[in-house]
Structure 1
Amino acid sequence: MSDRTPFQPWPDPRQVEADVARALAEDVGSGDATAALLPDGPDQAYLLCKEDAVVCGRPWFDACHRALDPQVRIDWRVAEGDRVAAGTVLATLQGRARALVSAERASLNFLQTLSGTATATAAHVAAVAGTGARILDTRKTLPGLRAAQKYAVRTGGGDNHRMGLYDAVMLKENHVRAFGSVAAAIAAARAAQPGLPLIVEVETLAELRQALEAGCDRILIDDFDAEARREAVRTAHGAPYDGRIPLEVSGGVDLEGLRAIALDGVDCISIGGLTKHVRAVDLSLKLGPTPA
């Protein structure tokens, strides 16, 4: 165990339960034909992490095993959000042999996927450390696992963008085209959904000024080059706007160029790859005693 990332509250247990029920239904189905070959006596297992990672997904891992063996004992050696080195034993388990084997794949699928998201997020957060910029996710998530992946982003030290299409209004080029201008689209959105946060995507400095004048909760400067981005920051942070409306960068962002963007003074950087380009952490669950 080593340094720990900033950690957000545990996920809604009802969401975890629903995710796990779907996962076990598709994997176990009417019964595990292979596990049925094993004698169903008590056994033990250990969970091994084979690479450096940020651990995330314990609630889903636990729920998979407890769904098949309510009496299983899971002793975690690391906390959610801990950074661990390759070769770390994350947990030991004691339970029924068949249940341990049947729950193995689903439990690892959750843990490896969410740890992958948390690990990637932590790397992006580290890249902008000290700049004041926040790392945000997007809606580019695995279908059915949005709440889980967004939880993993928080565990990795990032922040969540809107959860879905229902909890914020986000105006893009199609809306501007439909209403004729950024200002007109903002006015229509405020009238229709006054209680929701309003995010406005702009494509030019002229549209940025319209959004600043009309007012909104955040402005997304999409695919601005470096010179235009710096001018956008000077405009939004200077008088008379004084940085009251945060600027978000989106599009064409990679880890290599991330810090340079943050140093330009933007407030937020949203990165779809945190949840879209998922590379699972290498984990394994092995029956038997923990190696010395």
Structure 2
Amino acid sequence: MLRGQIESFIREDLGYHDISCQMVPDTIAEAVIFAKQDCVVAGVEVAEAIFDYFDIEYTRKIAEGEKIQNNGVVFELKGRTVSLLRAERLALNFLGHLSGIATLTRDCVEAVHECSEAVVAATRKTTPGIREFEKLAVIAGGGDPHRFNLSDSIMIKDNHRHIMGLENAILKAKEMASFTQKIEAEVESANDALLAARMGVDIVMLDNMSPSEIISTVEKLRHEGLRNKVIVEVSGGINTENLAEYAKTGIDVISMGSLIHKAQWADLSMEMKESFMS
């Protein structure tokens, strides 16, 4: 995390007249950050950047992406009391939010891998300003971040099709693309999937199709000798309840916006060790 980012987050949290932290004696204290539930931990490097900013000594007790049980310790901390209090909520907010994403992602990855080798990926449905951290939390949970931004690859979506048609959009994308950029076409029918694959896109994304429609489309791609020439991704309406059904359709990637926007925060807390106050 860049220093400017940290200062922006701190400015938002401290405000102009922080009495609640300044009212305590500014002595040396020790504290622990621990989990209050089983979860997959993410955001430890963000937390460390916050601790570094406040000159707090820390010992990380668990690695990014590792599972932790209820009451397990994530960090042991030592620093001045005012600094510990000021770092507390900011560090816990990141750890809680990102660990929630990593935990949900891990659950989805494990569910898929029981019946398929498909990759579980995120989408660009992220929180403005902290996308990079949410995407890294997906990675910590064993998922794929997909595009970090629009420049990572060229994705032809429904509105591109509405504006210029699928074929014209693919031709224009191939004309403008760097040799390093993949082209992905989002489609809603088997016919469009076949057209995109014939035109040489790298990825065909089957959007809002039912599992039976996906199976039929994959079979048509295979019948035309196109299945091994294109990555097949599915997205839209996929959740933890129907995830396994989609994983069995023979596709390569399952992308889910819900990995981020429906993840429940993990419950973590910081507790001061009174016996170390001096």
Cα shift at 1:215: 1.1
User: Which amino acid in the other structure matches residue 88 of structure 1?
Assistant: G
Q: In the TM superposition, what is the alpha-carbon distance from 1:128 to its structure 2 partner?
A: 0.6
- The 3-state SS of whatever aligns with 1:287 is strand
Gaps in structure 2 of 5+ consecutive residues: none
> CA offset at residue 225 of structure 1?
1.6
Partner of 2:229: helix, strand, or coil?
coil
| Contact 1:113 1:279 (8 Å CA) reproduced | yes
Aligned counterpart, 2:77: 93
User: d(CA) in 2 for partners of 1:242 and 1:268?
Assistant: 14
Query: Which residue of 1 is the match for residue 42 of structure 2?
Result: 56
Matched, 1:226 2:211: yes
Does the Cα contact within 8 Å between 1:60 and 1:110 map onto a contact in 2?
yes
Supply the distance in 1 between the matched residues of 2:261 and 2:223 (Cα, whole angstroms): 35
Give the secondary-structure state (helix, strand or coil) at the position aligned to 1:23: helix
Superposition map of 1:87-126 within 5 A: 87-126=71-110
Match of 2:241, SS state, is helix
Aligned mates of 2:222, 2:142 — CA distance in 1:
25
Asked if the contact 2:218–2:227 (Cα under 8 Å) also holds between the matched residues in 1, the reply is no
Partner of 1:190: 174
Corresponding letter in the other structure for 1:124: C
CA offsets 1:24-68 (integer angstroms, 9 cap, x no match): 110123453111111111101111200010011111111212212
Q: Does 1:28 align with 2:6?
A: no
CA displacement, residues 99-153 of structure 1 (integer Å, 9 cap, x when unaligned)? 0011100010111111011111001100111511000100111110100000000
Partner of 1:199: 184
Q: Describe the superposition over 1:65-108 as per-residue Cα deviations: whole angstroms up to 9, x where unpaired.
A: 2212x2x2211221111101111122211110110011100010
- Distance (Å, rounded) in 2 between the aligned partners of 1:23 and 1:255: 32
The Cα of 1:164 is off from its aligned counterpart by 1.4
Preserved CA contact (<8 Å) 2:51 2:57: no
Residue aligning to 2:60: 76
| 1:248-273 superposed Cα distances (whole Å, 9 cap, x missing partner) | 11100011111111111110000001
Note the C-alpha offset of 1:280: 0.9
**Cα distance change of structure 1 residues 118 and 132 upon mapping to structure 2, 3 Å threshold:** same
Query: Aligned-pair distance for 1:155?
Result: 0.6
Deviation at 1:289, TM superposition (A): 5.7
Distance verdict in 2 for CA 1:224–1:263, change over 3 Å: same
Cα-to-partner distance string for 1:170-209 (whole Å, 9 max, x where unaligned): 11222223323x2222011111224322110111111111
Kindly state the Cα deviation for residue 236 of structure 1 after the two structures are TM-superposed. Answer: 2.6
Instruction: Indicate whether 1:128 and 2:140 are aligned.
Output: no
Distance 2:263 2:240 in 1: 14
User: Which residue identity is paired with 1:209?
Assistant: L
TM-score where L is the length of structure 1: 0.89
Q: What does residue 9 of structure 1 align with?
A: none
Q: Which runs of 5+ in 1 are unaligned?
A: 1-12
What CA distance in whole angstroms lies between the structure 2 residues aligned with 1:73 and 1:123?
Answer: 33
Which amino acid is the alignment partner of residue 287 of structure 1? M
CA contact (8 A) 1:48 1:285 kept: yes
Moved more, 114-123 or 80-89: 80-89
Aligned CA distance change for structure 1 residues 60 and 194 (closer, same or farther; 3 Å) = closer
Q: Structure 2 length as normaliser, TM-score?
A: 0.93
How many residue pairs were aligned? 273
Runs of 4+ in 1 over 6 A off after TM superposition: none
1:239, CA displacement in angstroms? Answer: 4.3
**Match of 1:167, SS?**
coil
Task: Tell me the equivalent position of 1:262.
Answer: 247
